[in-house]
Amino acid sequence: MEHVSFAENVRLMGRFDESDPSAPVAAWVNSAVFCTFEGKEIWLKAEDSSGEDCLEIILDGVARNWIALKKGVHDYLVERDVPEGVHTLELHKRTELLIGKVTFLDLYLTEGGRFYAPPAAHKLKLEFFGDSITNGAGNAHPHEVGYAPALDDGYMSYAALCARMLCAEYHTIAISGIGILQDAMGRRNGLPPHFHGVHGLDTPAWDFSKYQADGVVINLGQNDYSNPIREDLYVEEYIRFVEDVLRQYPDAYVFLCVGTMNDNYLSGVRQVAEHFEKQGKHKVYLVDLGLILPEVEGWGGGFHPSLQTHYRMAADLSRFLSEKTGWPLRERPTVATKC
């Protein structure tokens, strides 16, 4: 039996708690582990805090299935009857921070084989900030089903799709129900205070030297405007957040998105974009992603965007980013190709 070395054989994408380097902990949606191996059968040992987290299985760049984790420590068969040769494996956390945390304890090969150095990271680095829309909440089930974490597919969220369309690494910092200034219940509960923590507020400080984003995408306001709000306070807090982001990533492009469940925060976001334009910071852009077109795209769970809407958002957003920055946009291949 061959066991993985997290130090030598695994690459992490996302904000992991690495207090114990041999047992990295993922909480944010789209946090992922990457490895390269040769062998017929590969297993995962993991601990889930809730019993509701799910991991997307990507073998050789193809989404194969997902693992529904059980609470506590368990072993999971990831792939069997793997063809001969060297393969890449990715495991992406489909579910968000509010669902639970996953501790990766081991990857092992039961029928011989070996692990190699992990696949290299993409050069372009993106970071997404948002709420349930950015988490992919409800995207893979009908709106009548209010709660189904196994069908909240962060891997197919517009954020993840946009990043893959641009061949980019990506971090996703998103919490359902949250805003810039207040949450969906009208409480002072915004995402900006979570920016500096590994897993958000009241967690160990994140080391920004580990990941310097080239582009930052923010889509927050849907929940702020679910209740009465003073727009001037929303705008002020948003400006402070963007300034904080730019202190950490001084060379980054920043894209301020609106959409798609409503656009009643468009006026506030436009004021934020205009503020930075007046400051001479011409790498801050407003992006209007429009609204859900239910007759064509359908609804996701709880009237969230469906998979169709997420794909359309990703296509529009990646095209906008490419046009403003010159970052290459992947074209639909005529033969199987990789980034």
Query: Can you give the pLDDT at residue 95?
Result: 98
In angstroms, rounded to a whole number, what is the distance separating the alpha carbons of residues 173 and 134?
9
Domain definitions of the chain by residue range = 2-116, 124-325
CATH class of 2-116: mainly beta
On whether the CB atoms of residues 136 and 128 are closer than 8 A, the answer is no
Phi, psi (deg, nearest 5) at residue 72:
95, -165
In angstroms, rounded to a whole number, what is the distance separating the alpha carbons of residues 268 and 264?
9
Asked if pLDDT for residue 37 goes beyond 80, the answer is yes
- In sequence order, the 6+-apart residues with CB closer than 8 A to the CB of 324 are 253, 255, 285
Band the pLDDT of 333: cuts 50, 70, 90. confident
CATH fit for domain 124-325, picks 2.170.150.20, 2.40.170.20, 3.40.50.1110, 3.40.50.2300: 3.40.50.1110
Query: Can you give the pLDDT at residue 337?
Result: 65
pLDDT digits (tens, 9 = 90+) for 133-153: 999 999 999 888 878 888 999
Asked if pLDDT for residue 339 goes beyond 80, the answer is no
